[in-house]
Structure 1
C-alpha cells in the first residue's frame, strides 16, 4: 500500500533503558523513520506537507480535517480502506522520553472507558492495543529529538485492525517531523498547517449556501 522499506527493529536495543541527552540529538541516519527534518531522506516519496509533519499519504486515502472551536486544525486523519490513521507530533524534553509517560496515561484512560488493553513490544518500543465492541485501536509512540510522534490506527473489526496496524507502521516509518527551533512547553501539539488548496476547499465548504 505504501512503499518499500520493511521493519528492521532498530529500536529494540533501547527498550527499557535510560536515555541521555546525547541519544536525542538525532535519529539514526540511513534507517527507517520517522525522520527528524535534518535527516529526512531524499527518496522521492511524495509527502503531504502539514507544516510540523510531512505524511506519505497512501494511495486512495481520503483526508479528514478535525477543527477545534476556534477554527484551528486539531488533527488530520487519513481514511483508508482498512481504517482511520492519525499521526500527531508534540513538543518533548531534550533529555528524557515522553512516550512512556503518555502511554501510561492513555492506558488508564482507555481502561476507564471500558476498553480491553494489550501492551506489546513493537518496532519503536511499547505499543497499545485497545478494543471494545465498536472499535479496535493500535497506538504507537516514537521519541525523537525534542519531539514525540504518536500514531493511532482505528478499525471496526479485528481482521481490519491487523491491516490497519501494518498501514500505520508504514506511515510512521516514512513520516518526517519538522520540530523547528522555537521553545515550546512539553506536550504542546506541533502546529498543523494545511496546504493552501486544502485550506481553501475547507473554507468553501464552511460558507453558507
Structure 2
C-alpha cells in the first residue's frame, strides 16, 4: 500500500475546509463489513465511533481516523507545510475523491448546521453558489465555484459536503470530481465514508479543534532519489510508503 502526500498552508489548518486536490497516492484492498448503529448520532449505518467496533484489526490506522481498505482505493495524506503535521486524508476511487477531516465537538450539540452556513457564505464571497440537498447522510451541501478550463473556457468546480455529528466529534467529508454531482459515481465513496471510524480520545478539546491524524506506524517515505526511507527509527519498514507531494487546486476554506 502506497500513501501519497499533499501539502496544506498554515491558514487551512483549524476550521473545516474543503479541498479538492489531485495528488499521487495509494492502493488498498479489502472487504466491506457492516455493524449495528448505536446511539442517535448517525443516520442509517455509520460513520462509527471507535466504541462501536469490536477491534481495530484490518483498518488503516491514521490516529483519529480508522480507514477500511477497499479494492481500487487510493489514499493521500495532506500535510501542513509549516508544521508538517497531517491535517486531512483524501480517498481517491474511480476518478473521484473524498477528503476527510475530524474535529472535536460539544457533547450536547452538533456543528454541522453552523458549518454548512459558513461554507455557503464562503462560497458566495467567491462568486459561487450552494444548494442544500437531502443525501445519504442527511442534509448535505453542493457547492459550485467559477473556474477556468485549460482551454480558457469558463465553467465551475463542484464539491459536495457531507457532515456527521458524532459523540463529541464532527466528521466532514468533501466529495470532488464526478462524485460531487453524480449519485451513481459517488456510491463507492459514500460506502467508504460510512465505514470510517472516528477515534475522539478522552482529552478535553475545544470545539472545532482538529483531531490529530498521523502516518501509519509502518509508513516509509521515499528519499529524493526514490529509494524508500523509514518514516521513523523503529526498524525496517515493509508497509505503506510515502510519495513526494504534489499540491492540487483547493475549492474553498472556512475561517
Hey, what does 1:151 align to over in structure 2? 173
Hey, what does 2:127 align to over in structure 1? 114
The DSSP-based 3-state class of the residue aligned with 1:201 is strand
After TM superposition, the structure 1 stretch with the greater mean CA deviation from structure 2, 100-109 or 110-119, is 110-119
In the superposition, the TM-score normalised over structure 1's length comes to: 0.76
Hey, what does 2:110 align to over in structure 1? 97
Hey, what does 1:171 align to over in structure 2? 192
Q: Does 1:60 align with 2:82?
A: no
The DSSP-based 3-state class of the residue aligned with 1:197 is coil
Residues 34-77 of structure 1: CA deviation (Å, up to 9, x unaligned): 11111125697x32111111112332222222111211112111
Q: Does 1:73 align with 2:93?
A: no
Q: Does 1:124 align with 2:137?
A: yes
Hey, what does 1:183 align to over in structure 2? 204
Say which structure is richer in helix.
1
Aligned-partner Cα distance in 1 for 2:114–2:218 = 37
Considering only aligned residues, what root-mean-square deviation do their CA atoms show, in Å?
3.1
The DSSP-based 3-state class of the residue aligned with 1:194 is coil
Contact kept? 2:59, 2:66, Cα under 8 Å: yes
Aligned-partner Cα distance in 2 for 1:134–1:201 = 35
Which 5+ residue runs of structure 2 have no aligned equivalent? 1-29, 146-154, 224-228, 230-242, 245-255
Contact kept? 1:90, 1:186, Cα under 8 Å: yes
The DSSP-based 3-state class of the residue aligned with 1:196 is coil
Contact kept? 1:124, 1:140, Cα under 8 Å: yes
Aligned-partner Cα distance in 1 for 2:31–2:142 = 22
The DSSP-based 3-state class of the residue aligned with 1:182 is coil
Structure-2 change in CA distance of 1:139 and 1:183 (3 Å) = same
Aligned-partner Cα distance in 2 for 1:180–1:43 = 15
Which 5+ residue runs of structure 1 have no aligned equivalent? 11-24
Contact kept? 1:110, 1:117, Cα under 8 Å: yes
How far residue 27 of structure 1 moved from its aligned partner, in angstroms, is 4.8
Aligned residue pairs total 186
Aligned-partner Cα distance in 2 for 1:126–1:150 = 12
**Which of the numbers 211, 217, 233 marks the counterpart of 1:196?**
217
Contact kept? 1:27, 1:36, Cα under 8 Å: no
Moved over 4 A (4+): 25-29, 41-44, 156-159, 202-206
